[in-house]
Each structure stands twice: as structure tokens, then as C-alpha cells.
Structure 1
Amino acid sequence: MTTTADDLRAPWRGRADGAERERWQAVADDLAARLAPGAADRDRENALPLEALEEIRHSGLAELLVPARHGGHGAHFETAFHVVRTIARADASLGQILGYHYLNQACVGFYGTDPERAARWFADSAAGQWIWSDAFNPVSPDLELVHAGGDAEYRLGGTKRFATGAAVADIVITGAVATGGPWDGELVVLALPTGRAGIEHLDDWDHLGYRASASGSVRFDQVRITADDVIGVDTGTPFSTVVTPGVQLLFGNIYLAIAQAALAQARELTLARRGSWFLSGVERYADDPVFARVIGELLARTTAVEALADRLNARYDEVVGLGHATTADDRAELEIAIAHLKVVATEVALDVTSRVFEVTGASSTASRNALDLHWRNVRTHSLHDPVEYKKIEVGAHFLTGAVQPISLYT
């Protein structure tokens, strides 16, 4: 089938139907059941989750969003976000890697300018069950992309921190402003095999949470770049920049998943508690109205976040489906709506993962339970970008209609 420029700009069309959602939810549920038992051990080991990533590859989820005409499953972002949420409830680190995979792989569609090259990227990714990551942290020092002769040969140098999943991925997305050559002065978006000569994964991630997320730094030492590595140029069009609200939507879904996981574990621990508090007048802790009230409050707030996330997951497909017809207003409306989710998902997840201990009691702090893993994960990742600025973003738009400048955070 011939790939047209319009196909390139909008590889995803329409909305997920019930059959699609049901099919992939079943796959995600099965995979999550197999991954969940090892989550605490992966966290303690702070090691690369290589075996778990192989499970994800074998499940078929790696090519979920690749268009069917290129050998993928042709699913939609709504389905992908639900899949990520399911995996993140089992292991937030793995959910983050999978979510980043979907959005980095999607850069082929968002930034691509060559239909033939885009078709090749998608087809090769589907055939190889590639996992995609990125080294695009905008607060790290900029990389240098210097023309090295020929029509389009460059050398890439520098270091990017917090490159989640890069050390276990097949492809890493990165970019730099070119110096010299055909792309002089332009921000070139690159897709590079992670094992290419000159790419070094520093394995320096040792943080409070997300310890199985392979989030170490990546060093580029005079890496050879040719035209075949170029996805496109970031020109800041409304459609190409829709990928960034997608990243923020991913975060909201993962924070929701962490809160849901904490509540589910708290329920198990509370039901397993022996006896009751001596002033309660009941026989079991699970029957104590004080604890029921706490759980009820946390569950209700989490359910509200879920409703907002579900609505925005579907809305994201609607905007993405506009392709190159996406307007600045379309993009701004989506950005602000997702910023609402980011605010409430962050605060609810932090509160839930902390306060579940009020119900589960002192015994739940035993290391074997790893109940603290939920809080450590959401506390670590929610510092990715300050949520206070998301509040300002929402409030300023409500008051004056102001929209923040487009960036890799907005």
C-alpha cells in the first residue's frame, strides 16, 4: 500500500471500539499478573528489568500502536493508555517504560516528513518488536550535532540524564540543533539504535523510587549520524507538538495507577489484620468505621481522577486524528485539559500512597510488604516537572485565556 503524506502526519485515525479495548485489556491483565509478583524484588535490586521487558515484547504490546498496514496492531492511544495503566498497577517502573515506548515510537508520526522513511521505521519496529525510549531531557545540557562532511553526515556528542528505559530499549530518540550541513540551525529529531558505537549507558540511576525504570544517563561520544537516522525536524507545528500533552497524559494515567495499586494492597493488608483497635467496638480492623472512612475518601477521589483520565484518553485520539489539520487552539485546549489531570492525579496519588498506612497499621511497614514502593515511585516521578506550574497554567488560562509557550513540558 502506498504511504501518503497525509498518512504520515496522522497514522492514527478514529476511536478505539469495544473489541479493541477488550482484546488488549485481556493481554495487559495477563501480563500484569505475571509481572506483579516480581515488582518488589526488581525495586530492591535496582537492576535493569531485562526479563520483564522480554515478557512485554512477547505479549505483542510493543507493536500495539504501529499501523496495521505496517505490520502492527493498529490500536489507538486510548487503548495504549489503559494498557499502560494496567501494567503500572503491577509495576510503575515497567508502566513508565512501556508508556514512553508508545510516545517515542509515535514520534515517527508526529515529527516525520518522509513517508517512505516513516513506513520503514514502523515496519522494522513491528517486525523486530522494538522497544523505544528517549534521551531528550530538556533540562540536561544540549547535545552537539556537528556536520562532518558529505551530504548529511554528522557527529553527535554530549550527555543526557534521566533517560528512562534507554538502557533496555532498542531505539533511543534524541535531538539537537545542527551546526552546518543541510539541517544547519534546525532541531533535528533522531532515532538511534541504542547499541551504536559511541552510545554509552552510564547505569547511574540510584534514586528513591522508579528503581526498575532503567533511568540512567546516556553519553554520546562522537556518534556517527546519517540521513537514515533522521525522523524529521521539529518545526513546532501544532500537530508535532501534541506529543508533549501526550507525555503529560501518560503521567496522569500512571499516577492514577499507582494510587489504585496502593488502595488494592491496602485492602488486602487490612482484611488480613487480626483483631481490632480496642476502642472500636468491632471485632475486625476491616469493620472499623474509622478505617472505612479513610479508605472511602481515598477511593472516591481516585475514582474521580479515573473518570477524568478516561475522558482525556479518548479526547487525545480525537486531536491526534486531526493530523496536520490540528490548530493551535486544538492543541491549547488539549494541553490545558491534561494539565487539570496532572494537578489532581499528582496530589491524589501522593495523598493515597501516604495515607493508606493509616488503615494498614504499623505491621504494614514491614519491608516484605513493600507498601512504601507506591509512595516512593509517585514521589520520585511527580518531581519530573513542578506541579505548581501546572496549577498556574490552569489558573492563568481560566482567568485570562493565557496559554503557556509550547515546550517539552507544556
Structure 2
Amino acid sequence: MPPDSSTLSTYFDPFPPDSGDALLVRAVALRPLLQADAVQRDKAGGRPVAQIALLKQQKLNAAAIAPQYGGEGASWVSILRVVRELARSDGSLAHLYGYQHLPLHTVLARGTDEQQQRWFSQAATEQWLWSNSGNAMSKTSAAERVPGGWIVDGFRPFSSGSHVADVIHIAWQDSTGARWSALIPADRAGVVIEDDWDGIGQTQTGSGTVSFHGVRVRDDEVLGDAGSPLSPFESVVSLLQQSVLANVFIGSAVGALDEAREYTVTQSRPWIHSGVERHVDDPWIQRAYGDLAIRTLAAIELADDAAAHLDRACALGRGLDAETRGRVSIDLAAANVYAGENALDVTEKIFELMGARSATRARGYDRFWRNVRTHTLHNPAEYKKRTIGAWLLRHPYAPLGAYR
């Protein structure tokens, strides 16, 4: 017989993680620890140092690195499921974990054999957290060529994770306007974390400014040649970004439904005109939760399918062609758009279903909407819909580039 409302909240998980995915199982084990103080940490902002340490303890950071360097060679399906699982409790940590794979991929696409051996091996041993301070939309850092390297000055905004990173991927323009990038230790002299992020959401991501004051970059830390064109494989970094965001959206929607369902079952009171004694027996509430669950399950399927396509494309390595990359970009754009729009709806709708007493700062349910709203603005759905529509109408795939 079905449980009553006092036990329903622990009866089942409507969005169960794949217990056959060993990497995901390690992330699931972190959920109680992250959940315990998620609301308080969201309010406090700052640096999630203890939570990054948990990722390292579970050996999650280097999971995507190939076994030949000491990693596990985890698939993108697994990595992105971990992002989703972390976002059920902590959107900021999910963001940082996912985004660290962007510079890691850049090393894979542009790094020399020696650079890959050196950096990946050390990252696997020390469980580095990678970060990025090379926002492609900004041209606010420059460098002077000196013997054996460069001297970098300026700043870059949206440097997510730099405040807790072990290494930072930085970028600059030279005197001709050509764009260079390099991987350097986060504690390199002259690197200043400004701690000026004040977004309404993703409060522990440190997505503010990093300043460079005469930062010395060695030639063996520079990734590739600024004169080489963007290759399809290198451009996969944009697809990874979209994939991470999609799974942060989905995890946030699932987390919002987790917490809203718990509240609805244990604390919500029926409306005076509903004609039922328990809120959970109101057909309106049942139908509304069913609708949100169906769409969230659909978002999960779209994201997993797109991640599987991403895995097949990345298996081609530097041999990836523009046509194959373009087809994957359509799948990921669709998954990203659907996940974002569904998450915005879910994270707003839950308040209507829980009732007036749920809308307090102390409960912290608003963090899910704030997190999703913050991220969806960085990657507008409008332009992804246009890209998909143009492809459907037999236009070519969008040119390689940022956010495509």
C-alpha cells in the first residue's frame, strides 16, 4: 500500500542517479554534506574551500584525464551527470566543477605532448581544480614579449573559479591584436583575485575579476600559436560550456523539485476552497507537479543524448571535422535551451505549489531560481533557437566560435 504523507518524502527518488556509474556514485555520496549548509553558504558567498576539498577527496577533479596520465578517462556523459548531481544541492560547486573542464580541453586541443604529460600527470596526482580567466568577449589584458616569455598586464572579468583554483587559463592580446593563452599557477606573482563578484546567483563561483600586474608567463606555458586558426576540436570548448550549463540547469530544477516536494508533503496546507484535507490530494497540485516532472525528465533525456554525441565527437580528437562538430552543436543547443527554459519555469513555479509560507529568505528556495536566471543570461536562448532554425531550414552550421 502507498505511504502516507509522513513517509512519502523518503519513499523514492523520482530522479534516481545511475547507480552503475561509479563516478556518479562518488558524487552522490557528497549530497548530504553539500545539502546540510547549502542555504547558508549561498547567502554568505565567498570561497567554497571545504567543498572543493571534498571534490578532491572523491578524486572527481581529474576523472576526465586519460589513464595514461593517471586519470580515469571518464566519459562526458559521466562528467556531466556529476555536474547535474552537484547542482541538486549546490549550483555554484556544480558550475566550478564543470567549468574546470574547459581549460583542460584546451590543453588537450592545443597543448604539446610535453605540456599534456606535465600538466595532466600533475593534475591527476594533486587533483587540481582548473579555472579560466580569459573571457573571449573581453580584450582587457595585453602582454609584452620578453626573452623566454611574456609579461601580462590588465584584467579579465567572469573568471569563474579563479578564487579557489590551482591553475588558471589566462588570455591576452599582443600588439597586433592576436589572441594568446597560457596555463599558469593560480599563485603566480602579480595575479590578483579581486573578489568582486556580486551576482544575484551562483554566489560562490567567484565569477568576478582577475587582475594581472606584470605577470610573467614562460614560453613553455603558452598554448599553441596565436596565428593558428580555430580548429573544430578546439572549438568543442564552447560545446562543453553549453553542456555544463545545461546540466547545471537540470540539476537546479531537480533540486528545486526535491526540496519543494519535501515541503509540500510535510508542511503545505490545502487551500480553503480546495475541498481536500491534505494539500497533496489537491488535483491541481498533483497535475502541476506531474507537468514539471515530465518536462524535467525530458530535459534529462535530451542532455544525456547530447552528451553521448559529444563523447563520440571527442573520440575523434584533433581529427574532428566541422560537419560532425556542427551536428553535435545542434544537439547541445537544443538540450541547453530546453533545460534552461524548463529550469526557469520549475524554480519559479514551486513557490505557487508550496504556498505563501515557503517564500522566506531563511528557507532559501529562491537560490535555485537565482542560480538559473544568472546563468541563462550568459548564453541567450534566442540565438540558439535561431541557430537550430537556420539549420532546420537548410542553412549551413554556424561558423566556429565562442558560444556556438
Length-normalised TM-score, structure 1:
0.90
Counterpart pick for 1:166 among 162, 167, 181: 162
CA contact (8 A) 1:49 1:214 kept: no
**Is 2:197 the partner of 1:205?**
yes
CA contact (8 A) 1:21 1:79 kept: no
Q: 2: CA distance between counterparts of 1:347 and 1:265?
A: 20
CA shift for structure 1 position 333: 0.8
1:66-145 paired onto structure 2 within 5 Å: 66-112=65-111, 114-145=112-143
**Is 2:388 the partner of 1:389?**
no
Change (3 A) 1:273 1:355: same
SS at match of 1:369: coil
Q: 2: CA distance between counterparts of 1:354 and 1:300?
A: 16
The amino acid across from 2:212 in the alignment is F
CA contact (8 A) 2:139 2:173 kept: no
CA shift for structure 1 position 80: 0.5
1:162-209 CA distances to partner (integer Å, 9 max, x unpaired)?
111111001111222334xxxx77532210111111110000011111
Counterpart pick for 2:318 among 315, 324, 329: 324
1:331-342 paired onto structure 2 within 5 Å: 331-342=325-336
Change (3 A) 1:384 1:275: closer
User: Which residue of structure 1 aligns with residue 5 of structure 2?
Assistant: none
Q: 2: CA distance between counterparts of 1:93 and 1:365?
A: 21
CA shift for structure 1 position 265: 0.9
User: Which residue of structure 2 aligns with residue 271 of structure 1?
Assistant: 265
The amino acid across from 1:141 in the alignment is K
The amino acid across from 2:237 in the alignment is V
The amino acid across from 1:170 in the alignment is D
Q: 2: CA distance between counterparts of 1:371 and 1:306?
A: 21
CA shift for structure 1 position 34: 1.2
Q: 2: CA distance between counterparts of 1:99 and 1:357?
A: 28
Length-normalised TM-score, structure 2:
0.92
CA shift for structure 1 position 342: 1.6
| Alignment gaps of 5+ in structure 1 | 1-17
Q: 2: CA distance between counterparts of 1:195 and 1:21?
A: 38
CA contact (8 A) 1:135 1:160 kept: yes
CA contact (8 A) 2:268 2:355 kept: no
Q: 2: CA distance between counterparts of 1:280 and 1:224?
A: 68
Sequence identity percentage: 34
The amino acid across from 1:327 in the alignment is D
CA contact (8 A) 1:132 1:172 kept: yes
CA shift for structure 1 position 21: 5.3
Q: 2: CA distance between counterparts of 1:42 and 1:111?
A: 37
SS at match of 1:374: helix
The amino acid across from 2:24 in the alignment is Q
Q: 2: CA distance between counterparts of 1:292 and 1:360?
A: 12
Counterpart pick for 1:251 among 242, 245, 248: 245
The amino acid across from 2:189 in the alignment is A
Change (3 A) 1:32 1:207: same
The amino acid across from 1:362 in the alignment is A
**Is 2:377 the partner of 1:378?**
no
Which structure features the higher share of helix residues?
1
Number of residues paired by the alignment? Answer: 386
CA shift for structure 1 position 275: 4.0
1:254-275 CA distances to partner (integer Å, 9 max, x unpaired)?
1011111111111001001254
CA shift for structure 1 position 236: 0.5
User: Which residue of structure 1 aligns with residue 224 of structure 2?
Assistant: 232
What is the root-mean-square deviation of aligned Cα atoms in Å? 1.8
SS at match of 1:191: strand
SS at match of 2:195: coil
The amino acid across from 1:211 in the alignment is T
Counterpart pick for 1:306 among 296, 300, 311: 300
